[in-house]
Amino acid sequence: MTAALDTHLSDLLGRFAARRDLGALGADAEGRYRLELDGWLEVRIFQSGGDLFLEGSPGRLPAEDPREPDRIADLLREQVRDLEDQEEVLSLDPEGEDLILFRRLQASGLRLDDFERALESFANRLERWTRRLAADRTVPSPVAAPMHIIFP
């Protein structure tokens, strides 16, 4: 059954690549297909059992940031809130500081149009999280506002 599902994934991605004039897509040694969207956003696609996974890395947690526990709590609250409307899940890579966004799709019966809609939605969420994490890194540390003294 796994071979049939792997063939389905390969066929699905072959039809996707043909529709988008991407040329042949090949899996790496781990069986993951990599797509680069808009020249900078990487989506990895792989299959595990009867499920197809879309996966991307929006960024990593900042090292030695004194606000890190608060930042993680904020990210988790945002993720839980988004679960009501979104199917993507944000998690922490257990082997590092990278955040991983993923979405699970049932592989059998997945049509090309459904796959493209899921990929587009996933890419939009990945871009949003990537920009959100990048903005967090560029926010300067809070400093006291300058004091203005006005003399009569």
pLDDT tens for 15-66 read 999 999 888 888 899 889 999 888 889 999 999 988 999 999 998 876 666 5
- The CATH number assigned to the domain holding 116 equals 3.30.1460.10
Count of C-beta atoms within a 10 Å radius of residue 71: 14
Tell me whether residue 149 is in a domain: no
Distance CA 73, CA 29 (A): 35
Strands across the sheet with 33-37, in order?
33-37, 41-48, 51-60, 98-106, 89-92
Tell me whether residue 141 is in a domain: no
Q: Is the per-residue pLDDT at 82 higher than 70?
A: no
Q: Is this model's pTM higher than 0.85 or not?
A: no
> What is the DSSP pairing of strand 98-106 with strand 89-92?
antiparallel
Question: How many domains, in total, are found in the chain?
Answer: 1
Structural domain of 11: 2-134
